Amino acid sequence: MKHLLSIFFIISSLLLLSCRDSDKKVTDIKPYEGPIQEAEDLELFYNESATLKVKLITDRLLDFANGNREFPEGLYMEFYDEDGKLSSTLKANEAIYFKEENKWRGRGDVQLKNLENQQELNTEELFWKPDEEKMFTDKFVTIKLPDQTVYGTGLEAKQDFSEYQILKPEGIFSVDDNE
């Protein structure tokens, strides 16, 4: 009987130890951080006062619990002026929307076009802050104008690309003396 009690005590101890190990493993499991929703072939519209402001087209959208959105296959956006006229477009090979900062980042072959002024920006990374209606980058940029091409590093621009400033311009520039 004494031998049987010893065996029972050893088995109980082992069971308790194994329970503690399994409890520890359960608490060590990291929460799921992947997308909570996924969608394909989307067209999204943003309106203000019944006027279209932004149209977004993407092949794939991933939504995350923290509000961030990823566009791993790229996106195409159209920006409209206050009269509802298409003013500029943006294309990127991939993009992320950071909800907490209300900021977008486009990467890869990023192209921003101002249709009215016939200007085109090309860069490898571009940020957009919708609440400030501002785009910016610290990467190399190429801006094609109707009569010349301008290069530089770093850029700040209005979201419709109607105004911009290259932070470190490079190359030869033509200057209009009449301004």
Q: What is the pLDDT of residues 153-179, one digit of tens each?
A: 999 998 777 789 999 998 765 666 665
Residue 10 has pLDDT above 80, yes or no: no
Q: What is the pLDDT of residues 102-147, one digit of tens each?
A: 999 999 999 999 988 899 999 999 999 989 989 999 999 999 999 8
Q: Are 79 and 160 in contact (CB under 8 A)?
A: yes
Sign of the four-CA dihedral 165, 169, 173, 175: positive
**Per-residue exposure over 53-87, b if at least 16 CB sit within 10 Å of its own CB, e if not:** bbbbebebbbbbeeeebbbeebbbbbbbeeeeeeb
Cα end-to-end distance, the chain, whole Å? 107
Q: What is the pLDDT of residues 42-97, one digit of tens each?
A: 999 988 888 898 899 999 999 999 999 999 999 999 988 888 899 889 999 999 99
pLDDT band at 33 (very low <50, low <70, confident <90, very high): confident
pLDDT band at 4 (very low <50, low <70, confident <90, very high): very low
Question: Which CATH fold topology does 37-170 show?
Answer: lipopolysaccharide transport protein A fold (2.60.450)
Whether the pTM exceeds 0.85: the reply is no
Tokens of 142: 């190429």
Q: Where are the domains of the chain?
A: 37-170
